[in-house]
Structure 1
Amino acid sequence: MTGSDDELAELSVRVVLYHRDQNSELSPLYPDSNDLLESATVLAAPINMPAAVVRALLDSEVPADFAANPWLNRHRALVFTDGRCRVAGYELRYHDKFGVYASEET
């Protein structure tokens, strides 16, 4: 595989989406559910996310609470404040209709 082929290969990471409120309290994006998987999604590069974001998330540790759970042990946490978070120089946003998307690199 050449370098350019490698960049075209799909990368993906599973994430659980959290919201941080004004009091710095964390809650799953869909707090009415007892199942964290309902607040989970898959981010794939280059389909819906820049490769740098997916790689940065793959390089981050699986949260300790997830590691012992067979359903979550490959997920990472993605925390949004006011519908935004920063990963690998990108601002990620969450929209109820469109899900997670990246805005321009800064």
Structure 2
Amino acid sequence: MLHAIVRAEAPRSITDLGHAIGVDQPRASRLVQSLADAGLVRRIPDPTDGRRVVIEATKAGRAHIAAHAEARAAEVATAAEALAPAERAELARLLAKLAEAWPA
């Protein structure tokens, strides 16, 4: 959920976030509440509809995602050491192709 919130171009509603990660609204609401309790997201008034709120990441939430991404990159780099240079190049080529085809 936090990843979906951080990568969103603008703050989104809980329902929209639930759809983005494939969970129903009650589950999305609980996930957002957990993140809010941890100080990783905050609810703000929807600028287009004063009756609703939208969710945005806090500075701590963005930092959490960045740290997680760095840790994952280090793990991938360590695992890639098991590959020969030509295999790493082929893997990079295939991952780039997969990323291009990935749905938005």
TM-score (norm 1): 0.24
Q: As a proportion of its length, which structure holds more strand?
A: 1
Q: As a proportion of its length, which structure holds more helix?
A: 2
Higher relative contact order (CA 8 A, sep 6+): 1
